[in-house]
Amino acid sequence: MSLCSDNDHDLKTIFDHMKNELADGGETNLLSFGHVLRDMGKYDDANKYYHRLLNELPDDHEDIERCYHALGRVAKEQGDYDSSLKWHHKSLEIMQQTLRSDHPNIAKTCYAIGNAYRKKNDFQRALESYKNALTIVKQAFGEDHPKVAYGFGNMGLVYDLEKKHLEALECHQQGLTILEKHLPADHPDLGKSHNNIGEAHYSLGHYDLALENFQLALKIFHKSLPPQHPATIHVLNNMSHFHDDRGGF
């Protein structure tokens, strides 16, 4: 815990609780702490740790690229999509210099770049990035792998924004079918898939199916995420809008 400053005492409980899981009995570092904070929605704290690590690492350390990727994810969550693209392109540049063109880690960053473009409503570039990533992960892992599922989910989000709700629903359902084979029943990614499926059903006028999936998502989030996590708030907002539109509870 010497890694924490005097202003970080409120985080000590989090670190104590997560330490064994983070490192699996090995060394726990600032990058790991940053990931925990990011996953809990504590984005400012995560940023602090990632930048601290960047300042401490030698220029050729492998974690430099990982920090760039992590900073890009946090920037996206904070709504700073231009900064997210900047960090992810820095990450991609390093990987293109050190990895083969079909390496799975390149797909990870292509997904992230697609996410930032999607948030900027640049749907063409988003789909291009997602499809590039999906091609890589299918070659690397086969058709039935969580990384393939995330590709379908990402594409589904773009189709939803383009009002192509049937295509969106198909993508989200394909992704969920794969994830259910690989993840624990209460994993938050399953909750996100159910929420996305609920949104697609709602847009198509399938109201009972929409509410069913929103409820499944909320049940999972209550078990796996803090109450104020953005994913939990998002599905609660969806349910509130659903009930408002449908005439109340």
Q: State yes or no: pLDDT of 243 exceeds 80.
A: no
Confidence at 4, pLDDT banded by 50, 70, 90: very low
11/41: higher pLDDT: 41
Name the nearest CA neighbour of 198 among 187, 189, 211.
Answer: 211
**Number of helices followed by number of strands (H, E) in the chain:** 12, 0
Quote the CA–CA distance of 214 and 197 in Å, as a whole number.
Answer: 8
% of residues, the chain, pLDDT over 90: 70
Whether the full predicted model's pTM is greater than 0.75, yes or no, is no
| pLDDT tens-digit readout, 99-151 | 998 899 999 999 999 999 999 999 999 999 999 999 999 999 999 999 999 99
Q: Which two tokens stand for residue 24?
A: 């699996």
Q: State yes or no: pLDDT of 246 exceeds 90.
A: no
Q: Is 86 buried (19+), middle (13-18) or exposed (0-12) by CB count in 10 A?
A: middle
| pLDDT tens-digit readout, 146-165 | 999 999 999 999 999 999 99
Quote the CA–CA distance of 234 and 78 in Å, as a whole number.
Answer: 14
Quote the CA–CA distance of 8 and 41 in Å, as a whole number.
Answer: 16
Which positions ≥6 away from 15 have C-beta within 8 Å? 1, 4, 28, 33, 36
CATH class name, domain 143-249: mainly alpha
Q: State yes or no: pLDDT of 23 exceeds 90.
A: no
The helix-helix angle for 230-245 and 188-203 (nearest 10°) equals 30
Confidence at 30, pLDDT banded by 50, 70, 90: low
What are the sequence ranges of the domains in the chain? 143-249
Write down the pLDDT at residue 247: 62
